Amino acid sequence: MNAITLQSTQSSKLLLTDVQTRNLHPGEVRVLIKAAALNHRDEWCRQGLYPNIQDGVVLGSDGAGVVTEIGKGVDYGLLDKEVIINPALNWGENQKVQGPNFEILGMPRNGTLAESVIVPVDRLYEKPAHMTWEEAAALPLAGLTAFRALTYQGNIQAGENLLVTGFGGGVAQFAVQFGLALGAKVSTSSSSTEKLEKAKALGVSTTFNYLDHNWISKAMEVTNGFDLIIDGAVGDTLNHLIQVAKPGGKIVFYGATLGNPSKLEARKIFWNQLKIMGTTMGSDQDFKNMVSFVNEKKIKPIIDQVFGFDKAEEAFNRMRDGKQTGKIVLVP
Amino acid sequence: MNAITLQSTQSSKLLLTDVQTRNLHPGEVRVLIKAAALNHRDEWCRQGLYPNIQDGVVLGSDGAGVVTEIGKGVDYGLLDKEVIINPALNWGENQKVQGPNFEILGMPRNGTLAESVIVPVDRLYEKPAHMTWEEAAALPLAGLTAFRALTYQGNIQAGENLLVTGFGGGVAQFAVQFGLALGAKVSTSSSSTEKLEKAKALGVSTTFNYLDHNWISKAMEVTNGFDLIIDGAVGDTLNHLIQVAKPGGKIVFYGATLGNPSKLEARKIFWNQLKIMGTTMGSDQDFKNMVSFVNEKKIKPIIDQVFGFDKAEEAFNRMRDGKQTGKIVLVP
């Protein structure tokens, strides 16, 4: 089958090539991919910035498709079902944190950027009926991460002030949509006026361009501080977030695209009783809750652009350059 | 009455002097001080490191004594009662964080390092019967801070691994004693072998001297990581604490005697889903819960040394130099 693999010898580090499929183990299913979606993780893998990178692996964590083959022990009723895949494998029983066997689909296990993917049957969820294939493929990883950040970690309540930084990225997009659906007063930030216009169109009341040096004082004027901030950048902007957090508030971050901060205002954290919390993906319970929520609220992921597999390099470069608003989707 | 006041013109910045008492306002009581205790806050005030420092104020947040006079509206039954004082004023209703009118007894309001102190009647709690006056005076501020850090913020559970850094300080001492009484597996650290011996005598299973460069690997060997870490130092040691936190664990800090850290390992925080939380003092509910707990478990504060008011400078210097194990008490 055709698949997008990581190949360090290629100048693009990517190779669309024929990959041998294998037989199913008991409890596994084969899913014919209708659409797959990119995450920053795929780009980090391409750049070799992930631990245990292996050449030749099929990339991709997000996918939606149809069950075409089932392994021993799997219910026959699943054949031909339209599904999405939970890319978080072996989280374990602890809701607080993934266990030592945790794995994400797409490295080192072959992922979704292929004509088909093999996964354990318990990773399958019914495709939300209100979504296209592209939308369904865009949901899993970023939707899961945003939902856990907002609910299990952030415990957001209706009427609270929520700031989602970096609108445009997949997790940020879902955090904004979920936050609005949960009744929060949602603000978002970006360096792109165009992206902020798109956020306003979604119903976001307040937007901030963080290139504007006054954004912090403006944010405090408008909101009097945020109960919850969802961030994926960290770096020295963490101290700006500490300034706009309401006393007793939380900053939950799911990544650190700007790296480590070079200082931390400790006194403000303890005196204002702030919580700075890290989060990654989510448990099976989080995924189940997220899918129910998305179905109930009829939320549709925002699709930035759809590429064919032959345009994989272009798609990855768009992710690398941060040009997208919403999810970048690839179809076989 | 005699009182220890802040006087910037004195070389010691302290002056034991006669201070005019005032009449009671409605709802207030006068407490004759039997014993008072020092907190780092008093030393910060002496060094001018607190906001809104005012010369001439009577220092001291911790005190225990006898009600000798009651203001209008106060129940006559309170006269002659033996009490301790909750030094947290006007916390407000929000359990997450103190409100804008929050104040700590002892600056700018006259405090407990005096022959008597005036406080609102709702700050009084019955003196725990199993404590001496010196012990009762040692409990309020540090006991409250430690209890909130462990329970409301840290949500410590029996059997969990708890690390309390900097054994010797007031809050650390209570965090160790409360942690043991709550059934946690308690470890503590210090740079002083002598202090660590005292911790072992309390029942602490594992102690670490943080001057030993191997303490991190030793801690990981013995405990496999801490569910909760209570710290008052921060500085660059925060990154050591991040290393010894169990995935899903919490670091709660109530102060930052070492100042701000010069970096922060963001990736470890989000991948291990750690929580870094600030805490300060506690709500009225926290204080009430703490006093009940201390009475139920018959916990007695550790007293480092008792000084007369005329030895105030010596007492403050001992706090400044970090020589104490347990609370430094002053008696009029």
Min distance A247 CA to chain B CA atoms (Å): 6
**Same domain for B11 and B122?**
yes
Residue B277 touches chain A, beta carbons under 8 Å: yes
* Average pLDDT score over residue span A34-48: 95
Same domain, A59 and A82: yes
Q: Contact, A282 vs A88, CB < 8 A?
A: yes
Contact B278 A274 (CB under 8 A): yes
CA distance B325 to B196: 10
- B234 and B253 housed in the same domain: yes
Q: What is the pLDDT of residue B154?
A: 98
Residue B290 placed within a domain: no
Closest residue in B to A268 (Cα) is B278
Q: Say which of A97, A248, A262 has its CB closest to residue B262.
A: A262
Decide if A275 and B273 are in contact by the 8 Å CB cutoff.
no
Q: Are residues A149 and A109 in the same domain?
A: no
The structure tokens listed for A117 are 């993917």
0.90 surpassed by complex ipTM:
yes
Give the bridge partners for B125, in sequence order: B84
d(CA B282, nearest CA chain A) in Å: 10
Q: What is the mean pLDDT of residues A35-40?
A: 97
With respect to residue B324, please indicate whether it lies within any of the assigned structural domains.
Answer: yes
Tens-digit pLDDT profile for residues B10-66: 999 999 999 999 999 999 999 999 999 999 999 999 998 887 889 999 999 999 999
| Interchain proximity B260–A265, CB inside 8 Å | yes
pLDDT tens, residue by residue, A84-131: 999 999 999 999 999 999 999 999 999 999 999 999 999 999 999 999
* B106 lies in some domain: yes
| Percent of chain B that is helix, strand, coil (3-state, to 5) | 30, 30, 40
Q: Name the pairing type of β-strands B82-85 and B124-126.
A: antiparallel
Q: At what angle do helices A284-297 and A140-148 cross, to 10 degrees?
A: 100
Find the domain containing A320 and state its range.
2-139+301-331
Q: Is B105 in contact with B60 (CB distance < 8 Å)?
A: yes
Instruction: Dump pLDDT digits (tens) for A48-93.
Output: 888 788 999 999 999 999 999 999 999 999 999 999 999 999 999 9
Q: Is residue A284 part of a domain?
A: no
Is residue A286 a part of any domain in this protein? no
Q: What is the pLDDT of residue B51?
A: 79
Do residue A266 and residue B253 have CB atoms under 8 angstroms apart? yes
Contact B39, B79 (CB under 8 A): no
CA-angle at A176, arms to A170 and A181, nearest 5°:
125
pLDDT at A292 exceeding the cut of 90: yes
Neighbours of A26 (CB within 10 A): 11
Q: Please check whether residue B273 is in contact with residue A102, taking contact to mean a CB–CB distance below 8 angstroms.
A: no
Contact residues on chain B for A265, CB-CB shorter than 8 A: 260
Contact call for A253 and B259, based on CB within 8 A: no
Q: What is the mean pLDDT of each run of 10 residues along chain B (332 residues)?
A: 94 95 97 98 92 91 98 97 98 97 96 98 98 98 98 98 95 98 97 95 94 94 96 95 98 96 94 98 98 98 97 96 95 96
Number of domains in chain B: 2
**B278 chain-A contacts, CB cut-off 8 A:** 266, 268-275
CATH number of the domain where residue A237 is located: 3.40.50.720
A127 and A196 housed in the same domain: no
Q: Nearest C-alpha of chain A: how many angstroms from B72?
A: 34
Q: Same domain, yes or no, for B258 and B232? A: yes
Of A248, A264, A277, which has the smallest distance from its Cβ to B264's Cβ? A264
Structural domain includes residue A239: yes
Query: Which residue in chain B has the smallest CA separation from A95?
Result: B248
Average pLDDT over residues A12-33: 96
How near does any CA of chain B get to the CA of A232, in Å? 10
Radius of gyration of chain B (CA): 20
Q: Are residues B240 and B128 in the same domain?
A: no
**Is B273's CB within 8 Å of A279's CB?**
yes
Whether B174 contacts B167, CB under 8 Å: no
CATH code at B92? 3.90.180.10
**pLDDT confidence of residue A143:** 98
**CB-based contact A262 B265, cutoff 8 Å:** no
Q: Are residues A49 and A154 in the same domain?
A: no
Amino acid identity of residue B58, one-letter, is: V
A·B CB contacts under 8 A: 115
Which residues of chain B have a CB within 8 Å of the CB of A237? Answer: none
Q: Which of A260, A264, A270 sits opposite B280 (nearest CB)?
A: A270
Are residues A185 and A266 both part of a single domain? yes
**Residue entry with tokens 């970006």:** A190
Task: Confirm or reject contact between B81 and chain A (CB < 8 A).
Answer: no
Of B248, B255, B276, the CB nearest to A97: B248
Count the alpha carbons within 13 Å of B18 in the hemisphere toward its beta carbon: 0
Plot region of B126 (φ>0 → left; ψ -120 to 50 → alpha; else → beta): beta
Whether B248 sits inside 8 A of A277 (CB atoms) is no
Helical pair A170-181 and A140-148, crossing angle rounded to 10 deg: 50
> Quick one: B230 and B120 in the same domain?
no
| Residue B326 included in any domain | yes
Q: Give the gap in angstroms from C-alpha B272 to the nearest C-alpha of chain A.
A: 7
Q: What is the mean pLDDT of residues A7-17?
A: 93
Q: Which residue of A has its CA nearest to B270?
A: A278
Domain-located, residue B294: no
* pLDDT digits 0-9 by tens, B190-219: 999 999 999 999 999 899 999 998 999 999
Of B199, B240, B248, nearest to B220 by C-alpha is B240
Question: Of chain A residues 232-271, which have a CB less than 8 A from chain B?
Answer: 234-235, 238, 247-248, 253-256, 259-271
DSSP per-residue string spanning A248-302 = EEEEEES--TT---S---HHHHHHTT-EEEE--S--HHHHHHHHHHHHHHT--PP
- Is residue A156 located within the same domain as residue A130? no
Cβ within 8 Å, pair A270-B256: yes
Q: Give yes or no for a contact between A316 and A4, defined as CB atoms under 8 angstroms apart.
A: no
Same domain (yes/no): B8, B69:
yes
Comparing CA positions, the residue from B126, B123, B116 lying closest to residue B77 is B126
